Chain A
Amino acid sequence: MLEARNISVRYGPCDVLREVSLSLSEGRMVALLGPNGAGKTTLLKALNGTLPAAEGSVVLDGRPLAELSRREAARRVAVVAQENETKFPVTVVDFVLSGRFAHGGAFGWERAEDVAVAERALAECDLEKYGSRLMNQLSGGERQRVVLARALATEAKILLLDEPTANLDLAHQAMIFRLVRGRCDAEGFAAVVITHDLNLAAEFADELILLHRGGLFAAGTAEEVLSEANIAEVFGVRSLRDANPATGKVRITPIF
């Protein structure tokens, strides 16, 4: 569905991302790992065209992303970015409905169908009762869920999530990962998730990509990527690896 071929991204003279490749196919969930400044967010921005690739190309459903109109791209790729703020009082339901932009006509009043999609997205993110609240009155965690709900409301099959669980409590962290996983399994979605929680990545993702200093350090399954050696090299942290007794998935415990 979405493929990055050897892309490099530059801010001025410095490479922020160097020859990174990534391939995302239907039903797959990819976790993007790495320390701060490794280039995770940059890669995500390159994947939806926010940042142009200096070299290499991003291909969406067989066509170079650069050739698609913003509207076409937005119908296929949805982004959950980190925090955003507005000085204007926008209600939660209006915010989520704004995700329907790429489906609307010129004067763009929502149809009943748009409202239904938005309501479902709100419900899935545990936000049924929040519709009339104002965005700037919500807590950070609540706002993050609203942003996810808006991404779901776009009905784009490719989700790019930038630390979607950063401000969330344990229950909602798991809820969001389960939600995305469920969409991938049942509805043919594909997702790239940036996270700092290695265990959540190991638990839910099909593939893990470890970025280090703007380059691809390791990619593969949790067993392949999350070795104690890799973690020590990339994060500079000693760790212990075993298996989660409940699920049998890789479990990393940092040693302090």
Chain B
Amino acid sequence: MKSDLRNSRMPSVFRVKTRQADHGDIRRPVFLVRNICAERKSRAFFDLGFGMLGLGSIEMTCCSVKRPIILLLLILAGSVLVACDRQEAELPAVAEKRVVKDDLGRAVRLPETVTRAVSLAPSITEMVFAAGAGDRLVGVTSYCDYPAAAKNIQKVGDTQSPNIEAIIAVRPQLILVSTASQLEAFATALEGQSAAVFVVDISKLDDVPDRLRRLGQIFGTGERADLAAIEIEQRIAAVERRPRPERPPRVLLQISEADLFTIGRDSFITELVERAGGASVTAEIPGGYPKLNKETALALDPEVIILSDSSDNRNPNDAMKNSSAVRSGRVYRVNADILSRPGPRLADALEQLATLFRQEPAGN
């Protein structure tokens, strides 16, 4: 139900809209971020009275764009006041910075110890927990429901429309985003602020243990992260040691029933299916999650149909009613969350798929 897949790379109208909204909404909040960070150096310059003046002026920003410099100053003052009141007690020590490369190859400056992080994708939340740093998360998306402890963390919007003000309010040092969430624009907008933006892009199965170790380094939980990574590597290896069918079954992974969305060349699930011993019939189709023409779906005649389980995906599409898979009863539902979140539970998905691919047709 609440998976990255559905909310991120899906070619839906939502996505386009969200992107635009991001650009549009970002300006004002960004000022606030800048101000909060500037505040540390210049706090002494502002007294309470000036701060209140500033608060009063915040409303004006909505109506007037003239005299931006004056307004900027006033907002600055206002935000300083807010920031002073709330932040005094537990400001993270302005520690020595270190530089880490993220998955877009950006050099990200991080404090030596990261104690406050925000995750903007359910898969990343799962990764951070698996890396033993779940207690550092101070903000997650409303889709982050696994592990159970994630549910109690402050929500800062959803993957497509994170609430930037809410993110700033939890004062993160680090914001983890996934490229899958189309958050590059957001990442750029927060670039150079007090909070570092780090992109975690998991595009294949082997990225999972690798990124676990990387998160371990970032959070200083290297040991636990390494254990988790090793466990996953062993599980992957175990699956690959299992006896395989002579010929990989031809698999169609259906994401939604009526609108026949499926997995394409660029989806990590395509690789997952292959590693599990199947051959995705849509492996050559360009894109991550293409909407497949029903004629082609029929002609592809899959031997196994995997349904990413959700309320709009209970049965195979009509076009497949005479396919080998349906005739032989090889239609299976797999929990959409483990399948579609590029996180530690991909190992579960891999094991399940491998088992399903080896199952004999029910009829025989």
Question: Is there a contact between chains A and B in the complex with CB atoms less than 8 Å apart?
Answer: no
